[in-house]
Structure 1
Amino acid sequence: MNFDWSLLFNIVVVVNAVLAIFTVFREKRDIAAIWAWLLVLVFLPLVGFIAYAFLGRKLPKNRLFKLHKHVQMQLDERLNEQRKQLGHNAKTPADEVVLRSRTAVDMFMTTDAAFLSRQNKVHIYTNGNDLFHRVIEDIEGAKKSIHIEFYTFYNDQIGNEILDLLVKKAKQGVEVRVIYDSWGSMGTTRKFFQPLIDAGGHAFPFLNTRSVLLDFRINFRDHRKIIVIDGTIGYTGGFNIGDQYLGRKKKFGHWRDTHIRIIGSGVFGLQARFILDWNATSPRDQIDEEEVEAKYFPVTTTKGNVNMQIVSSGPDSDCNRLRWATSS
């Protein structure tokens, strides 16, 4: 009796197509991603599903949206208070820029609930030594909380200098929380942060992935670089925590990047993003809703000349907001 290989082939093709359709459509994604993954899964049956396991799977929404509505409510309340204090109708050159970019501003408000923050003070850094000199000064002056989130937090000279300072502040009673990416901070383990944990601080790898070898979702890396101090000073940009960013590695030479220091209500956007990422990452030591308002979003009377929106994207995003804005 001859085996009908063509029948087996047809069955495999049909089953693979059904599984591909089920796999792709079970999670919400944009149309381009749907077609791309369908083609990969249908025409590369085994290889396609392996690739999908590493690059295509999304994360459960219930793990990513804790505190989202409550945080946004607190932001709205704080901004309403600030508008009364700062004079919402005041016209500045920065306001004219906003009017010319109204389409992008409205899009970010709609897709990311990214509020428009006015009258911030912003300083730009393009040199790592200047940046970390100021960061260290600000951390030294922290009174209530220090929130740090970085793709790279290396176990090197600047990494240990920052860690020692965080340990010192934790011993003083300052709340210290650190999120680092296990892939970007390769070589930095939980043991490195143990002195901080022993001092009362907290440190977790992003989404609590302790090993890059066990992390199959290699597309979900935390490339954010965020520092928020006392809810009043914020940093974000391109520099990570590592000696190479200060020009100490011959292999990399002088590192040119851009980072900004923010004072004003623009810090609230960074704080909100950190809280969302923290509660998605930390299995314990969650930031309680009752603590959010007074502790992390203090009213500021800063009167600067920069308007801004803090816009983020990641595994909790159903669209690439930044790409939409730059292409519109």
Structure 2
Amino acid sequence: MKIAEHLTKPISKILKFLLRRLVFVTVAIILQMIWMTYMVVVIGEYSKAIEWVFRIFSITVVIYIANKDDNPAYKLAWTIPILLFPIFGGFLYLVLGDKQPAKKLRMELEQSIEDTEFLLGQDYGVMERLEQEDYQVAGQAKYIDQYGGYPIYENSDAKYYPSGEAMFEELIEDLKKAKHYIFMEFFIVSRGYMWDTILEVLKDRVNDGVEVRFMYDDVGCVDLLPYKYYKELERFGIMAMPFNPIKPFVSTAWNNRDHRKVVVIDGHTAYTGGLNLSDEYINKVERFGYWKDAGLKVTGDAVWNFTVMFLQVWNAIRKTDEGYGAFLPHKHYEDAFKGKGFIQPYADNPLDHEIVGENVYLNIINTANHYVYIYTPYLIIDNEMTTALCLAAKRGVDIKIVTPGIPDKKLVFLLTQSYYKQLVEAGIHIYEYTPGFIHAKCFASDDKVATVGTINMDYRSLYLHFENGVFMYKNDAVMQLKHDMEKTFEISQRITKEMCQGNLRKTLTQSVLRLLAPLL
């Protein structure tokens, strides 16, 4: 009997592994790539003339890439593999190189955004008052408004949370208070204490007549939720859908993921930050030491940006609303909102060539006079960002960057460390968070501006994903973030020049990773 059990357990584990959706999807994608490559190679070998057609096509693709209005690092990362494998390299780029979503989804999203642009008009009285206080900050706000499509507000407030568990407690209490509607949009959802607790609250709110909508990213949850999990939520009365579902053998547009984290409650309260809905984010389970994250609660007029942000994507995929009047901030809150300073929630997407997320970061760095403090789990940056950071440090700005002490992805962390030497030599202070993994994505500068959100300092967040953040000026949350950062520096290890030296093998590996960074 015991022998049978010993034999059965390993077989059961193997079967369980093979039946996982992630394994199926991965195998399907690999088979699709192998099949396409095989067809191109076989056809090329069948005729020398066809082989030369493929080679000429690859050269044409390289010329096209070189002349694209795109990041030079991204161009180089594609040019090298195409030239190394000229027979099928061009076709590989044709299939995987486009950084935009599939045509149908792209058109639906573009139309939804175009149809709702008028809902996000800037109050010019607010902008004038900001200009009078700080013309440079007003320039940042104008950029986000004109090129991101999201205005800046007064009569709004924000509260910063230095950990996932701190935000989670208040989020649950606010969800329980919802009387009209709840909108939620997340990249990762994993069943456990955190999600189960939220789900019970959502079911309770639905039973009391509250409208609940829930959107999750299909890739982010591919190995965490059952296939078509949205149907299970629908049975509870929760309107739900996955974003950009994976369709192996049908579409290769998998790169553009919904990395946003948004909660909107009755139009007057919103939450965002680095937190996904999984137990490690609130330290109920330990994966990489202590998981440090950051959250933000926004109340008041500025919540309207979050509401429209969510509904633009929702209605592009699942047309539900003819108008958004029922979701206005004062629809269910009659009193006047109060707040300090200015708040501007914003979003970024891969539908255009405007890299709003990166440009907000660059503007903060370029206009800083005294300091810029940064939290980021990944430091995989392009030449523009590297130059801006180094130049700011060289003109006397105190630049401090915190990266993980215990990484979640060792190869990506090795790539992150490859940037240390150049930055440290320029006078930038880099710290590794000794207690564990830092997942927060935050900038704070000069005791007056900050941004908290979902945008990592890597190519995926800056160029491929749907992201969001909150830009703040002279709000209490700015100083709350700064104080948290100062405490974090004290318990983190500062990287010295000597620590940046690596052996030949490590250096070569990092060099290759740097070259391919935009494709990772």
TM-score (norm 2): 0.53
Verify: 1:321 aligned to 2:356, yes or no.
yes
Number of the residue aligned with 2:118: 73
Query: Partners in 2 of 1:131 and 1:64 — Cα distance?
Result: 30
Number of the residue aligned with 2:140: 104
Query: Partners in 1 of 2:193 and 2:173 — Cα distance?
Result: 17
CA 105–90 in structure 1, closer or farther in 2 if over 3 Å, else same: closer
Equivalent position SS for 2:154: strand
Question: What does 1:113-192 align with in structure 2 at a 5 Å threshold?
Answer: 113-185=149-221, 186-190=223-227, 192=229
* Equivalent residue in structure 2 for 1:293, among 302, 317, 325: 325
Equivalent position SS for 2:155: strand
Query: Partners in 1 of 2:167 and 2:153 — Cα distance?
Result: 23
CA 258–34 in structure 1, closer or farther in 2 if over 3 Å, else same: closer
* Equivalent residue in structure 2 for 1:251, among 280, 287, 300: 287
Number of the residue aligned with 2:70: 30
Shift, 1:7, TM fit: 5.8
Q: Which has the larger radius of gyration?
A: 2
Query: Partners in 2 of 1:109 and 1:21 — Cα distance?
Result: 35
1:11 counterpart letter in structure 2: V
CA 325–121 in structure 1, closer or farther in 2 if over 3 Å, else same: closer
Query: Partners in 2 of 1:211 and 1:161 — Cα distance?
Result: 31
CA 21–230 in structure 1, closer or farther in 2 if over 3 Å, else same: farther
User: Which runs of 5 or more residues in structure 1 are unaligned?
Assistant: none
Verify: 1:16 aligned to 2:58, yes or no.
yes
Number of the residue aligned with 2:109: 64
Number of the residue aligned with 1:239: 275
Is residue 235–residue 259 contact of structure 1 (8 Å, CA) maintained in 2? yes
User: Which runs of 5 or more residues in structure 2 are unaligned?
Assistant: 1-44, 364-520
* Cα-Cα RMSD: 3.3
Query: Partners in 2 of 1:298 and 1:40 — Cα distance?
Result: 55
Bigger mean CA deviation after superposition, 101-110 or 183-192 = 183-192
Question: How many percent of aligned residue pairs carry the same amino acid?
Answer: 23
Query: Partners in 1 of 2:307 and 2:235 — Cα distance?
Result: 25
Query: Partners in 2 of 1:90 and 1:52 — Cα distance?
Result: 47
Query: Partners in 1 of 2:63 and 2:108 — Cα distance?
Result: 25
Instruction: Figure out how many residues of one structure are paired with residues of the other and give that number.
Output: 309
Shift, 1:256, TM fit: 1.1
Query: Partners in 2 of 1:160 and 1:212 — Cα distance?
Result: 30
Query: Partners in 1 of 2:288 and 2:77 — Cα distance?
Result: 36
* Equivalent residue in structure 2 for 1:39, among 79, 82, 95: 79
Q: What is the CA deviation profile of residues 87-144 of structure 1, one whole-angstrom value per residue up to 9, with x for unaligned ones?
A: 85996xx776653323222222221122111231111111222211111111111111
Number of the residue aligned with 2:458: none
Query: Partners in 1 of 2:340 and 2:226 — Cα distance?
Result: 41
